[in-house]
Amino acid sequence: MKPLKVINVVGARPNFMKMAPLIEAMEQYPEAIQQVLVHTGQHYDEKMSQSFFVDLGMPRPDIDLGVGSGSHAEQTARIMVAFEKVCQDEQPDLVIVVGDVNSTMACTITAKKLGIRVAHVEAGLRSRDMSMPEEINRLCTDVLCDYLFTTDYIAGQNLQAEGVDKQKIFFVGNVMIDTLMKHREMASQLDLSQKLGLVPQGYATLTLHRQGNVDDREVLKGILEAIQEISHTLPVIFPIHPRTRKMVESFGLSDFFNSSEQVRGIWITEPLGYLEFLHLNMGARLVLTDSGGLQEESTVLGVPCITMRPNTERPITCEEGTNTLVGNEKSAILREASRVLSGQSCVGKVPEKRDGKAAERIVGILLQIQGGAP
Ligand code: UD1
């Protein structure tokens, strides 16, 4: 039988840990599945891209579109033009996209218009917040995709409420957690926290990069003021995203940071590799974030997570996990941090099918498709 020819798409940092276990699971069936890995180049800095390939043991991309940064329209358009050519040259049977970044949506639209089937991994997540570019990406991607692989029951309900045919929806679990489980032991062996003089449960980690939080000076300033207050109680390690660094500098807010090797205060670092950051999060007393992935990861690690957003596309992490949504106002961030630090955080449980086997399930379904099913 002819193998199923699949193009796997990655573009930005949160895509790599979702795609890595899928590639590994597909590699078990070289006669049935032929893979081509395309990197759009949406993220391109060593620390935002290449270092993840090394940490996660992923093969290098077969094709790099090198699109780089730009406005949403520019970036999306550049990806579409370049990816169309790839699809025409490669003639895949299926394109697999993950997550909700511009690359996810751009490649989905392009492939579908060429009549190519598309599978979306991490489908059905909804924040209901149309001011988030990611929500637009999620909606456009899901409405077009042929196979929708979901992480939890809520995502399946969302898709059905939007009229998606049940036959297209597969509740498989969370591939990002497959990666976490595979690397947990390895990350625990690192001596990074020791080198930094950090003790387990004696520090917090912070990520901050959402447009809604960092592109407005007053909002960003309020968040940083709250973090600074928290950092008087315990050091806050902040691997800063390039977007945020740019905004902090342009708003004249750099004085908030202490880049010396003092562990009191907000401690700013370059973006960290996957293993290093997992290592730090595993020992953290508290995670402060506006990222999607960290809400999922902290829930599985059992670390309290304060999400500085008014909504989340991952409500299961609040319903069942350790996540609390507080919005981006200083007083609300401080209130919740003080609750957590006084030992009152909720003890969550790990949601269903976060068992390290999501990629295996997806590949099982792909093999059925290859065998002529749906
Ligand atoms: C993107 C995703 C977001 C995801 C985040 C994870 C979209 C709409 N957003 O946001 O969902 O949570 O990635 O990191 O797809 N830059 C660099 N080097 C890089 C990449 C970016 O310096 O390697 C700078 C550039 O100035 C760029 C800015 O960061 O303009 C924003 O990058 P972009 O890919 O547009 O969005 P992110 O904020 O990274």
**Contact partners, residue 211, CB within 8 Å, separation at least 6:** 132, 133, 243
Q: Which of 74, 90, 102 is nearest to 11 (CA)?
A: 102
Answer whether residue 371 shows pLDDT above 80: no
Q: List the structure tokens of 1.
A: 């039988």
Q: Whose CA is nearest to atom 26 of ligand 1?
A: 243
For residue 260, the model assigns a pLDDT of: 53
**Residue 100 Cα: closest atom of ligand 1:** 11
**Residue 104 Cα: closest atom of ligand 1:** 15
Alpha-carbon Rg for the chain, nearest whole angstrom, is 20
Q: Average pLDDT, stretch 56-77? A: 98
- Please report, rounded to a whole number, the percentage of residues in the chain having pLDDT higher than 70: 97
CB of 134 sitting under 6 A from ligand 1: yes
For residue 97, the model assigns a pLDDT of: 99
Arithmetic mean of pLDDT over the chain: 95
Q: List the structure tokens of 101.
A: 């970044």
Q: Which of 359, 335, 33 is nearest to 180 (CA)?
A: 359
For residue 257, the model assigns a pLDDT of: 73
Rounded CA-CA distance 370/374 in Å is 9
Answer whether residue 309 shows pLDDT above 80: yes
Q: Whose CA is nearest to atom 7 of ligand 1?
A: 101
CB of 117 sitting under 6 A from ligand 1: no
Ligand 1 geometric centre to CA of 353 (Å): 30
CB of 14 sitting under 6 A from ligand 1: yes
**Contact partners, residue 9, CB within 8 Å, separation at least 6:** 15, 38, 40, 83, 95, 96, 97, 98, 103, 104, 107
Q: Whose CA is nearest to atom 35 of ligand 1?
A: 69
What is the model's pTM? 0.96
Using one digit for the tens of pLDDT, what is the confidence trace for 137-175?
999 999 999 999 999 999 999 999 999 999 999 999 999
CB of 182 sitting under 6 A from ligand 1: no
pLDDT category of residue 263 using cuts at 50, 70 and 90: very low
Catalytic residue among 39, 120, 183, 209: 209
